[in-house]
Structure 1
Amino acid sequence: MSINNIIIVISLLPLFLLISILGGTHGVDNRYDFPSDFIFGSGTTAFQVEGAAKEDGRTPSIWDTFVQSGQQTEDIDVGCNQYHKYKEDVKLMADMGLDGYRFSISWSRLIPNGRGPLNPKGLEYYNNLINELLLHGIQPHVTLYNYDLPQALEDEYGGWISPKIVEDFSAYAEVCFREFGDRVLYWTTVNEPNVFVIGGYDLGFLPPGRCSFPFGKYKNCSEGNSATEPYLAMHHSILAHASAANLYRTKYKDKQHGQIGISIYGISLAPSTNSKEDAHVAQIARQFFFDWVLHPLMVGDYSSMMKKIVGSKLPIFTKDEGNLAKGCYDFIGITYYGEMSCKYLPNNWTVEDRDVYADLQAQIEIQSAAKRSLTSTKGLKGLLEYLIQDYGNPPIIIYENGFEAERNASLHDVPRVKYIMEHIQVVFDALRNGSNINGYFTWSFIDVYELLTGYETSYGLFYVDLDDPDRKRYPRLSAKWYSNFLKGKASTSLDFDPTTEELLFYS
């Protein structure tokens, strides 16, 4: 998924011009320059690729409801149809040479009511997908939650704003550990809580679309409280993660030998101007968005800065909850796309009435993809250094990294190749400088239904023809370059054949 609602049209440079720009560089020769146990992969999530939305016992999630409410209009019932085409997709992964595939489980496909009886067809599908991956030598990296809470739990008690979610999520997680954990060695509990709590409960542009006036910037708010609900949703996300992680560690880890973590959106925040005010709020925002998630995982409580800014709206960890949260991770997943800008925005709201951004006294804006592509490597470098300096260099897997383009049938995605190449180089440099990075995954393996833009934009290594009833996949240039890199046939300085002005493709 991407946090970018700006649709861009890519104007491809002639390839000879790109060669002239990059010809003098020399980077990582190939993936074998990395440690032998370093994991290279790609990913998708259930709602974004599976389709089969009304098949074999699956019930609606809050994302289904959000789409059908008119916030997004595309038909997602069939989508990319990975539910029926998973064997074909796994074969493409194997042909590319991927080490790992990151995917999520649809909670409402596996347990239609959110709790209670399992859906045999859902259980069969995920067993089949995992087995197919292993048959082809590909590691399954499983995310338990990615924006798609069963609608049944949302209707019953409000989902993530209720403490009841912690018990239900833990029960769901245990089903997954019990049924799939003999073959899954990498678990992510919750994906990007620092995004879905703001988008879903403050600004209202993500599922379940809750917000309150005047903070709902992308919809008319009919229910919600932007001042309090984001903090409740985050608190329960942390407790749900901690409960599931501790369950795994105490009951399953010794037998299954896997690792469990949480994935955070890696926001790289830069001041909008050179003013002291913008620099100050950018510094606070950097701490805020990471501290919100990571500080409780490190010390069992929110930071003093968070407490000072948010005041009584910030939920309190009990002693037992703090002990549960502290140290409850084996790795931290990072999703990273580029920089955002941060501008000081003074306000006169009382503490009780402020939303998250008003608490920060900042306006945070997504930079255009064109600008982001020029500054993003600097941002990733700074983010990795920040994790070392402020959080003691925890084990990291970069689980999403990709370049957004207008979705079309063009397979010649040179800007995406350049983007991936540059970020792999940053990862390599960070490793040499002591960063504890263990893996790098591109977003996304195939074109998916994007969180904010639906099918209008894409990140896929493979183009999916949605006009074709069979949803045929076509490899883009990025898929071919990445495959070459993984097979030791391409470097991060780009290998070109000047006679054809093409990358050296794998055979």
Structure 2
Amino acid sequence: MKHFSLFSSFLLAIALAATSHTDAFTRNDFPKEFLFGAATSAYQWEGAVDEDGRTPSVWDTTAHCNNGSVGGDIACDGYHKYKEDVKLMAEMGLEAFRFSISWSRLLPNGRGAINPKGLLFYKNLIKELRSHGIEPHVTLYHYDLPQSLEDEYGGWTNRKIIEDFTAFADICFREFGEDVKLWTTINDATIFAIGSYGQGVNFGHCTTTNGSTGNLYTETYIAGHNMLLAHASVSNLYKLKYKSKQRGSIGLSIFAFGLSPYTNSKDDEIATERAKAFLFGWMLKPLVFGDYPDEMKITLGSRLPVFSAEESEQVKGSSDYIGIIHYMTLYVTNQPSPPIFPLNTNKVFSADVGAYMIPIGNSSSFTVFLSI
């Protein structure tokens, strides 16, 4: 897909805009293959959580842990108002829209029979986007595992997820692939593993103890490992079964901070490199080289899962592109401290990184997709 290599130009545009007037650029300053778009997740946009056959996801469960919370029950009501929303997108001049498929709307039991009303909704949404000249970009997983699978085997901490996620993806490729050329397997894979596992409360549970039978000191890394293996399995399926006909691209997205040493000291420089290894290299190095960073191996020892030779080859090169999702820039200093957002939900991971990360200014959000 030619336009993917041009998404990296967005980084340059952001850097230049920071020192120039924002109106210094127009659409004509970018190649025609460059896509400007917006993104959302099924749970944050669709609403209609108990309509037309959809069943609860772990996000529903977690959102309702606090009494009186409605969570994403209504959200933006995109399930009913998608035509209005797409019209607004077209009026804004959006060229792409990245949205996720609600696993439990399409497959209410997490596997098995397809929900025809869920299937029709996504077909209609994709058709509506295309009719307005907007490129649909589908995310297969955005935090909303069917609660039934979490209850059955602990979700992403269990290797059974690889088979179920691959089967779900197979249905999506088969049903939507003729009209969808851009696929992201897992959104924000890094921060999802950090924020949802290896802590006192994780997605799909309201208890004060971890919902699975695993170990708080290993679950973050087990979940991340299974995400990489599931991504590789889905990517391999697409490339073997669908790519030659549908001619799409597939990748993974990670949550990435800007990291800079707090001082010019050697200790802060080393701490910054260690933080980069944990926050970026954790997913990126396996996708490019087939194994985890040495910094993680040394720090974690036996707590870090190991790729078999076959798994290493499957993961390496399994992404056509990487999605980089950025919210904030942090200073890094080589001293332990109480964890801060977004690591405050996982004290184990924060301790493993072993550095104090200090936010610089206000947060903002943009996503860049880079071909690799």
Q: Do these two structures clear the TM 0.5 threshold for a shared fold by scoring above it?
A: yes
Tell me the TM-score range normalised by the shorter chain: 0.7 to 0.9
How many residues align? The count is: 344
- Superposed CA RMSD in Å reads 2.6
Kindly indicate whether the alpha-carbon contact (under 8 Å) linking 1:143 and 1:191 is maintained by their aligned counterparts in 2.
yes
Kindly indicate whether the alpha-carbon contact (under 8 Å) linking 1:196 and 1:206 is maintained by their aligned counterparts in 2.
no
User: Residue 256 of structure 1: which of 246, 249, 258 is its match?
Assistant: 246
Residues 220 and 114 of structure 1: is their aligned pair in 2 closer, same or farther, counting only changes over 3 Å? same
How far does residue 23 in structure 1 lie from its aligned partner after superposition? 11
How far does residue 273 in structure 1 lie from its aligned partner after superposition? 4.8
Alignment correspondent of 1:335: 325
Cα deviation per residue 1:157-216 (whole Å; 9 max; x = unaligned)?
A: 000000000000000000000000000000000011110111111345662469xxxxxx
Cα deviation per residue 1:64-113 (whole Å; 9 max; x = unaligned)?
A: 00011129934421121000000000011111111100100000000011
User: Residue 356 of structure 2: which of 349, 363, 367 is its match?
Assistant: 363
Matched, 1:221 2:209: yes
Alignment correspondent of 1:398: 368
Matched, 1:122 2:118: yes
Cα distance in 1 between the residues matched to 2:210 and 2:136: 40
Alignment correspondent of 2:175: 179
Residues 205 and 367 of structure 1: is their aligned pair in 2 closer, same or farther, counting only changes over 3 Å? farther
Cα distance in 2 between the residues matched to 1:83 and 1:282: 43
Cα distance in 1 between the residues matched to 2:19 and 2:349: 45
Residues 177 and 69 of structure 1: is their aligned pair in 2 closer, same or farther, counting only changes over 3 Å? same
Alignment correspondent of 2:109: 113
Residues 135 and 363 of structure 1: is their aligned pair in 2 closer, same or farther, counting only changes over 3 Å? same
Kindly indicate whether the alpha-carbon contact (under 8 Å) linking 1:46 and 1:104 is maintained by their aligned counterparts in 2.
yes
Cα distance in 1 between the residues matched to 2:179 and 2:19: 44
Alignment of 1:398-437 (within 5 A): 398=368
Alignment correspondent of 2:4: none
User: Residue 137 of structure 1: which of 133, 137, 159 is its match?
Assistant: 133
Cα deviation per residue 1:138-167 (whole Å; 9 max; x = unaligned)?
A: 100000001111100000000000000000
SS in 1 for 2:36: strand
Percent identity over the alignment?
A: 50
Matched, 1:297 2:290: no
Q: Residue 218 of structure 2 aligns to which amino acid in structure 1?
A: T
Q: Residue 320 of structure 1 aligns to which amino acid in structure 2?
A: E
Alignment correspondent of 1:92: 88
Cα distance in 1 between the residues matched to 2:19 and 2:361: 26
Cα distance in 2 between the residues matched to 1:261 and 1:93: 24
Q: Residue 153 of structure 1 aligns to which amino acid in structure 2?
A: L
How far does residue 247 in structure 1 lie from its aligned partner after superposition? 0.4
Matched, 1:191 2:201: no
User: Residue 166 of structure 2: which of 160, 163, 170 is its match?
Assistant: 170
SS in 2 for 1:147: coil
Matched, 1:270 2:260: yes
User: Residue 104 of structure 1: which of 100, 105, 108 is its match?
Assistant: 100
Alignment correspondent of 1:47: 43
Q: Higher relative CO (CA 8 A, sep ≥ 6), structure 1 or 2?
A: 1
How far does residue 275 in structure 1 lie from its aligned partner after superposition? 4.6
SS in 1 for 2:64: helix
How far does residue 223 in structure 1 lie from its aligned partner after superposition? 4.2
Alignment correspondent of 1:161: 157
How far does residue 34 in structure 1 lie from its aligned partner after superposition? 0.9
User: Residue 319 of structure 1: which of 300, 309, 334 is its match?
Assistant: 309
Q: Residue 78 of structure 1 aligns to which amino acid in structure 2?
A: I
Residues 367 and 56 of structure 1: is their aligned pair in 2 closer, same or farther, counting only changes over 3 Å? farther
Cα distance in 1 between the residues matched to 2:29 and 2:264: 39
Residues 205 and 176 of structure 1: is their aligned pair in 2 closer, same or farther, counting only changes over 3 Å? same
SS in 1 for 2:133: coil
User: With structure 2 as the length reference, what TM-score do the two structures score?
Assistant: 0.86
Alignment correspondent of 1:470: none
Kindly indicate whether the alpha-carbon contact (under 8 Å) linking 2:336 and 2:356 is maintained by their aligned counterparts in 1.
no
Residues 204 and 333 of structure 1: is their aligned pair in 2 closer, same or farther, counting only changes over 3 Å? farther
Alignment correspondent of 1:502: none
Residues 314 and 63 of structure 1: is their aligned pair in 2 closer, same or farther, counting only changes over 3 Å? same
User: Residue 300 of structure 2: which of 294, 299, 310 is its match?
Assistant: 310
Cα distance in 2 between the residues matched to 1:341 and 1:230: 24
Residues 346 and 133 of structure 1: is their aligned pair in 2 closer, same or farther, counting only changes over 3 Å? closer
Residues 222 and 324 of structure 1: is their aligned pair in 2 closer, same or farther, counting only changes over 3 Å? closer
Q: For structure 1, which runs of at least 5 residues remain unmatched after alignment? A: 1-21, 211-218, 348-353, 381-396, 400-435, 439-507
Cα distance in 1 between the residues matched to 2:356 and 2:371: 31
SS in 2 for 1:69: coil
User: With structure 1 as the length reference, what TM-score do the two structures score?
Assistant: 0.64
SS in 2 for 1:288: helix
